[in-house]
Chains A and B, each alone.
Chain A
Amino acid sequence: AQSVTQLDSHVSVSEGTPVLLRCNYSSSYSPSLFWYVQHPNKGLQLLLKYTSAATLVKGINGFEAEFKKSETSFHLTKPSAHMSDAAEYFCVVSALRGGGKLIFGQGTELSVKP
């Protein structure tokens, strides 16, 4: 069965410093992995998606994630945090190859200090 574990429930960074949000996955096959962002009282926005075409995936708003099979990780990074990045971030895996339900991590709340 597929699963994801977000290693930090809360991350706090200063504006202009790098962001690292950690995610490990478990999958019996090469998975589809996603990062979504949720701003307070809003819906979820897709940041990026990995589907085996390239291990380094670039997303919106300067975020990127690297798929490391040997470490079963899919960490999300950004070189320089902006105040508007403060939100909840979810690492997500597709339960089935090619479609169907998504399995969400517990989320990481990112705070950005001025």
Chain B
Amino acid sequence: NAGVMQNPRHLVRRRGQEARLRCSPMKGHSHVYWYRQLPEEGLKFMVYLQKENIIDESGMPKERFSAEFPKEGPSILRIQQVVRGDSAAYFCASSPPIGGTDTQYFGPGTRLTVL
């Protein structure tokens, strides 16, 4: 059973460009979470999604950031018009649909560098 997959592992963007980060949850998992880790800090929750639904986006910046988890395909975290402060590691996690939904399994992360 493959783990949570994220791609790309490393992403370099210039200021003003768009960044798209992808996350494929573990097989059988229907809950996806995105977290951001700024340098020298712990992980901060961004958004919690189920298939075609955003359940909790309380950690998402109000502008430029969006997330989706379509019926088919991976979850996407999209950052428009990136700025240097967006440079961070972005981690995706998934959990199963029934029971134990607070146990989350993390992917390897996407390290975004904004030049």
- A residues lining the B interface (CB < 8 Å): 32, 34, 36, 41-46, 49, 90, 94-96, 98-107
Cβ contacts under 8 Å, B55 to chain A = 100
Beta-carbon contact of B106 and A100 below 8 Å:
no
Q: How far is the CA of A101 from the CA of B48 in the complex (A)?
A: 7
One of A41, A42, A46, A98 near B101 (C-beta < 8 A) = A98
Cβ contacts under 8 Å, B104 to chain A = 102
Cβ contacts under 8 Å, A42 to chain B = 108-109
Q: Can you name 24 A-B pairs with beta carbons within 8 Å?
A: A43-B106, A43-B108, A43-B109, A44-B43, A44-B91, A46-B105, A90-B42, A90-B43, A94-B102, A96-B102, A98-B102, A99-B95, A99-B101, A100-B48, A100-B56, A100-B101, A101-B48, A102-B33, A102-B35, A102-B45, A102-B102, A104-B35, A104-B42, A104-B43
**B1 sits at the interface (CB 8 A):** no
Beta-carbon contact of B106 and A44 below 8 Å:
yes
**B14 sits at the interface (CB 8 A):** no
For chains A and B in complex, what number of residue pairs have CB atoms within 8 angstroms? Answer: 60
Cβ contacts under 8 Å, B108 to chain A = 42-43
Q: How far is the CA of A36 from the CA of B91 in the complex (A)?
A: 13
- B residues lining the A interface (CB < 8 Å): 4, 31, 33, 35, 41-45, 48, 55-56, 58-59, 91, 93, 95, 101-109, 111
Q: How far is the CA of A41 from the CA of B110 in the complex (A)?
A: 10
- A54 vs chain B, min Cβ distance (A): 16
Beta-carbon contact of A101 and B43 below 8 Å:
no
Q: How far is the CA of A105 from the CA of B43 in the complex (A)?
A: 8
- B80 vs chain A, min Cβ distance (A): 23
One of A36, A99, A105 near B31 (C-beta < 8 A) = A99
Closest 10 pairs between A and B when the two form their complex, measured CB to CB: A99-B101, A101-B45, A104-B42, A43-B108, A44-B106, A94-B102, A104-B43, A32-B102, A43-B106, A106-B42
Cβ contacts under 8 Å, A36 to chain B = 106
Chain A residue at minimal CB-CB distance from B103:
A49
Q: How far is the CA of A66 from the CA of B109 in the complex (A)?
A: 29
Q: How far is the CA of A103 from the CA of B101 in the complex (A)?
A: 15
- A10 vs chain B, min Cβ distance (A): 12
